[in-house]
């Protein structure tokens, strides 16, 4: 297969990386991760929206590595908590917290909230950048409700508490292929996949000198 270039997947989250790789599988590109670029300090993700964080992260790493970069920002929005944890999902329980601490805090925050008011969604924005510009973004969301009892061992983060009524299970109970089919990240990635293919076929090395419209 003729490869059109190299795409950096800009995340250190192993769970996300697995999902990104699975949905991008078969594209004629080489994929690298931040483990291949250990010298760059992580940018601060302090914007108010998923989109702005994804854009900034993609631009930052594209500039630093001089190549095509795909970055995502994602998180959980809980209606009864006015959209929290939202952009704070990764560090909801504090700067050095883990998924267990985040889930504990979430379940405590929802104490006494009845099931019908526990509606929530995972949201994801992915941004594709080359040095100096974000060329496109795509978004995805999946609706569910937050359950007290964790169920399932797949996935990561809030998955054991995110119940999807139409499937009768949490996203942690879904096999990875099923989660990818219905998830916020799967939807955003499938939307950006043809864009990656077209741009990289046209301008495989991400050279800013060759800027132009989408072919
Ligand atoms: P990010 O690395 O800043 O995008 O943080 C995303 C955070 O949102 C993760 O650390 C998880 O806590 C949560 N999150 C995003 N997507 C998922 C998912 O698919 N399952 C479970 N938790 C998720």
pLDDT class of 212 with cuts at 50, 70, 90: very low
> Given a cut of 60, is residue 207 above it in pLDDT?
no
23, 27, 31, 33: CA torsion to nearest 10: -20
Mean pLDDT of 27-47: 88
Mean pLDDT of 187-213: 72
Mean pLDDT of 43-57: 94
Counting ligand 1 atoms within 8 A of each CB, the residue from 157, 176, 184 with the most, and so the one to mutate, is: 157
User: Pick the residue with more confidence: 195 or 5?
Assistant: 195
- Ligand 1 binding pocket includes 122 (Cβ within 6 Å): yes
- Ligand 1 binding pocket includes 170 (Cβ within 6 Å): no
Distance (angstroms) between ligand 1 centre and the Cα of 101 equals 14
Find where tokens 């769970």 sit. 15
pLDDT computed for residue 213 by the predictor:
44
16-20, 31-35, 92-96, 164-168: which is most confident: 164-168
6-199 CATH choice from 3.30.1490.190, 1.10.10.10, 3.40.50.2300, 3.90.950.10: 3.90.950.10
Question: How many Cα atoms within 13 Å fall on the side-chain side of residue 9?
Answer: 23
pLDDT for 78-98, tens place per residue? Answer: 999 999 999 999 999 998 889
Q: Mean pLDDT over all residues of the chain? A: 90
- Could you tell me the residue ranges of all domains in the chain? 6-199
Mean pLDDT of 36-60: 93
pLDDT for 115-160, tens place per residue? Answer: 999 999 999 999 999 999 999 999 999 999 999 999 999 999 999 9
Mean pLDDT of 55-77: 96
What is 151-214 written as a DSSP string?
--SSS-TTGGGEEEGGGTEETTTS-HHHHHHHSHHHHHHHHHHHHHHHHHHHSTT--GGG----
User: Pick the residue with more confidence: 50 or 43?
Assistant: 50
How many CB atoms neighbour CB 28 within 10 A? 13
Global pTM value: 0.89
Consecutive H or E run containing 119: strand 119-130
- Ligand 1 binding pocket includes 160 (Cβ within 6 Å): no
């Amino acid at each position: 297969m003729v490869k059109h270039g190299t795409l950096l997947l800009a995340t250190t989250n192993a769970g996300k990386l697995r999902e990104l790789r699975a949905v991008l599988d078969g594209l004629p590109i080489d994929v690298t991760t931040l483990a291949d670029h250990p010298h760059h300090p992580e940018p601060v993700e302090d914007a108010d929206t998923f989109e702005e964080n994804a854009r900034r992260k993609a631009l930052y790493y594209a500039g630093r590595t001089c190549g095509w970069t795909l970055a995502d920002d994602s998180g959980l929005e809980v209606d009864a908590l006015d959209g929290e944890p939202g952009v704070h999902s990764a560090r909801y329980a504090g700067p050095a917290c883990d998924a267990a601490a985040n889930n504990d805090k979430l379940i405590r925050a929802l104490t006494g909230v009845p099931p019908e008011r526990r509606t929530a969604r995972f949201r994801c924005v992915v941004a594709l950048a080359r040095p100096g510009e974000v060329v496109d973004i795509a978004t995805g969301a999946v609706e569910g409700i937050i359950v007290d009892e964790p169920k399932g061992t797949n996935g990561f983060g809030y998955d054991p508490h995110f119940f999807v009524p139409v499937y009768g299970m949490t996203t942690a109970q879904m096999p990875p292929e099923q989660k990818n089919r219905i998830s916020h990240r799967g939807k955003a990635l499938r939307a950006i996949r043809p864009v990656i293919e077209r741009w990289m076929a046209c301008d495989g090395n991400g050279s800013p000198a060759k800027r132009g419209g989408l072919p």
